């Protein structure tokens, strides 16, 4: 497998107040590959994901040290504009969270806030994004209906389309299918496999089968520490550490 | 056996409490009903075209109350026009921008205390500050400003509640797309909160229209048979007119129907303004579904 380094976390520590949630995480992510972050609840995998687009900045009294290097630049550097960073690193959340606006407006939102006014360009991008997120055929005749009228699975694909519309380089997905039924989950997983042709994807999941199905690399987190990281097949078939093996075989967690 | 007694007692207690709650709700509705019944019953006879469209005559025992209607209408619109933007902006600052800490706590304490100040105190404050110190005189503008201060906490409170009810996930979704904080507030948070914010406006408007004490030293006069021509005009207002007719002069008994008639007009005016805002609000809510 040809690998280009896209993002690299270097000795990252993260604190909620005085509680240290991440300990010395060093982890590399490669272009056009899917990396899954697995581990039991509270192990820090979501916290780590939210460090990558600096979403944790929104939580008061948190502290970060260490570096996350994205295309050669530390995203925690003072000179970095977090608004521009978040345009380049998109995010899909655990629960589908479309805005209470029309389907079209949801996807167009990111373009508009980033200063694009050309109406034709906007509607082309909206269509393109909905095609990429495999939602177009289901919504093309109802683009101006409220996004809240869609089913949960459709809403989540709409959220993916919304994230894709601003052409991010990395897509962060925080348990994107955990609130969905098996059929909708299947659709999201198929989608992830298609999208990695175009994007670098980092996905947090509780579901180990899901990690095994969609990801190229898997990182196992436990108690705020990165325990083991390897290509997915190796990690699931021949884990190096007993702790990893215990978790993936369901003996704890 | 004991079990059956326990079960029966439990059911009775359940019924008693339900009964209390139901009765309490009924008292609410009943109170409003009785008020309207009395006001309409006693005021209806005074209502006529003349009453609504003409100036008062014969020491206010005859004629109409047009200047009071216009006065209250303009006064409440002006005060809400001042208080609404300031109140909404403050609430946005408090809820979206301000970091929690001592300063925020002090500001909130001030707002809560402002809400608890008796309205006559606002009247005296308005007299001292707007009328005398700022030299605005007894005028529409002094009264509007005084009422604006009075309605601010109402608007801030309602707006903050509305902003808090906007799911945090909307803000996260917007920021994650590279929107700035202000874009997020302006394009996602405010439109979602708008129905609730308008409720605050409605409450403020109703409050401003009905107050007597804050305007009796700052804007309203006993008798001014002309319509306000500028923001410095002295005005007549419905609540103050009722107060004057019911307490001053030698014709109190004779003007009883006029008092109730004026009260009826005041109620209809406030409900009418509320109704417009409520219709607009439900339109907004439907659009968001």
pLDDT tens-digit series, residues B72-126: 999 999 999 999 999 999 999 999 988 888 888 998 899 889 888 999 999 999 9
Q: What is the pLDDT of residues B123-135, one digit of tens each?
A: 999 999 999 999 9
Which residue blocks in B93-235 are alpha helix, DSSP H?
102-116, 119-126, 140-164, 168-176, 181-184, 190-210, 213-216
Q: Are residues B41 and B56 in the same domain?
A: no
Radius of gyration of the CA atoms of chain B, in A: 24
Q: B77 to each of B68, B71, B80, B83, B84, how far by Cα in Å?
A: 14, 10, 5, 10, 10
Lowest mean pLDDT among A96-110, B12-26, B52-66, B193-207: B52-66
- What residues have CB less than 8 Å from B167, skipping those under 6 apart? A97
Read off the pTM.
0.85
Residue B279 confidence (pLDDT) = 87
CB–CB of B289 and A146 under 8 A? Answer: yes
DSSP string of B9-30?
HHHHHHHHHHHHHHHHHHHHHH
Q: Are residues B71 and B107 in the same domain?
A: yes
Q: Are residues B267 and B160 in the same domain?
A: yes
Residue B197 to residue A79: CA distance in whole angstroms: 37
Question: Does pLDDT of B253 surpass 90?
Answer: no
Residue B265 to residue B247: CA distance in whole angstroms: 19
CB–CB of B192 and A87 under 8 A? Answer: no
Q: Are residues B20 and B139 in the same domain?
A: no
Task: Show the domain range for B17.
Answer: 2-46
Q: Which residues of B touch A91 (CB under 8 A)?
A: 172, 176
Q: Are residues B146 and B16 in the same domain?
A: no
Q: Are residues B10 and B140 in the same domain?
A: no
Q: Are residues B231 and B92 in the same domain?
A: yes
* Residue A163 backbone phi and psi in degrees, to 5: -70, -35
Q: Are residues B192 and B120 in the same domain?
A: yes
Q: Does B173 touch chain A (CB under 8 A)?
A: yes
CB–CB of B177 and A162 under 8 A? Answer: yes
Residue A176 to residue A180: CA distance in whole angstroms: 8
Smallest CA-to-CA distance from A153 within A182, A189, A180, A193 is with A180
Q: What is the pLDDT of residues A201-226, one digit of tens each?
A: 999 998 888 999 999 999 999 999 99
Residue B1 confidence (pLDDT) = 58
Q: Does B255 touch chain A (CB under 8 A)?
A: no
- What residues have CB less than 8 Å from B280, skipping those under 6 apart? B198
Q: Which residues of B touch A60 (CB under 8 A)?
A: 99-100
Residue B51 to residue B246: CA distance in whole angstroms: 17
Q: What is the mean pLDDT of residues A177-201?
A: 90
The ipTM assigned to this model is 0.92
**B182 CA to chain A: closest CA distance, Å?**
10
């Amino acid at each position: 497998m040809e690998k280009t380094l896209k993002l690299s976390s270097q000795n990252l520590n993260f604190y909620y107040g005085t509680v240290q949630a991440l300990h010395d995480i060093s982890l590399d992510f490669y272009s056009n590959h899917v990396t899954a972050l697995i581990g039991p609840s509270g192990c820090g995998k979501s916290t780590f994901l939210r460090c990558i687009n600096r979403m944790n900045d929104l939580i008061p009294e948190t502290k970060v040290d260490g570096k996350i290097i994205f295309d050669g630049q530390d995203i925690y550097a003072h000179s970095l504009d977090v608004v521009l960073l978040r345009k380049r690193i998109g995010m899909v959340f655990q629960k589908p969270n479309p805005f209470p606006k029309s389907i079209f407006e949801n996807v167009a939102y990111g373009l508009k806030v980033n200063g694009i006014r050309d109406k034709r360009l906007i509607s082309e991008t909206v269509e393109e994004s909905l095609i990429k997120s495999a939602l177009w055929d289901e919504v093309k005749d109802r683009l101006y209906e409220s996004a809240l009228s869609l089913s949960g699975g459709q809403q989540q694909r709409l959220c993916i389309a919304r994230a894709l519309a601003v052409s991010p380089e990395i897509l962060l997905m925080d348990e994107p299918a955990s609130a969905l039924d098996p059929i909708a989950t299947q659709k999201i997983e198929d989608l992830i496999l298609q999208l990695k042709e175009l994007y670098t994807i980092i996905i947090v999941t509780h579901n180990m089968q899901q990690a095994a199905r969609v990801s190229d690399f898997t990182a196992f987190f436990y108690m705020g520490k990165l325990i083991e990281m390897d290509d997915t097949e190796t990690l699931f078939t021949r884990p190096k550490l007993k702790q990893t093996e215990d978790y993936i075989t369901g003996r704890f967690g | 056996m004991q079990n059956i007694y326990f079960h029966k007692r439990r059911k009775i207690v359940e019924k008693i409490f339900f009964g209390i709650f139901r009765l309490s709700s009924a008292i609410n509705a009943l109170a409003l009903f009785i008020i309207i019944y009395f006001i309409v019953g006693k005021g209806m006879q005074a209502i006529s075209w003349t009453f609504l469209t003409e100036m008062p005559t014969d020491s206010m025992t005859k004629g109409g109350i047009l200047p009071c209607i216009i006065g209250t209408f303009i006064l409440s619109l002006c005060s809400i026009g001042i208080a609404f933007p300031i109140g909404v902006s403050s609430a946005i600052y408090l809820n979206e921008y301000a970091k929690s800490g001592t300063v925020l706590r002090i500001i909130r304490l001030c707002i809560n205390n402002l809400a608890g100040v008796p309205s006559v105190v606002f009247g005296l404050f308005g007299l001292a500050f707007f009328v005398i110190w700022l030299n605005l005189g007894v005028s529409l503008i002094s009264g509007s400003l005084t009422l604006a201060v009075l309605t601010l906490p109402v608007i801030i409170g309602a707006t903050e509640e509305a902003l808090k009810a906007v799911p945090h996930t909307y803000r996260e979704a917007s920021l994650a797309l590279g929107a700035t904080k202000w874009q997020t507030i302006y394009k996602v948070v405010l439109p979602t909160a708008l129905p609730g914010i308008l409720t605050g406006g409605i409450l403020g408007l109703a409050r401003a229209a009905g107050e007597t004490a804050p305007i009796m030293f700052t804007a309203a006069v006993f008798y001014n048979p002309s319509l306000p021509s500028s923001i410095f005009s002295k005005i007549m207002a419905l609540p103050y007119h009722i107060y004057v007719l019911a307490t001053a002069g030698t014709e109190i008994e004779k003007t009883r129907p006029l008092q109730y008639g004026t009260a009826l007009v005041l109620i209809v005016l406030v409900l009418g303004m509320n109704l417009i805002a409520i219709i607009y609000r439900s339109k907004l809510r439907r659009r968001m579904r």
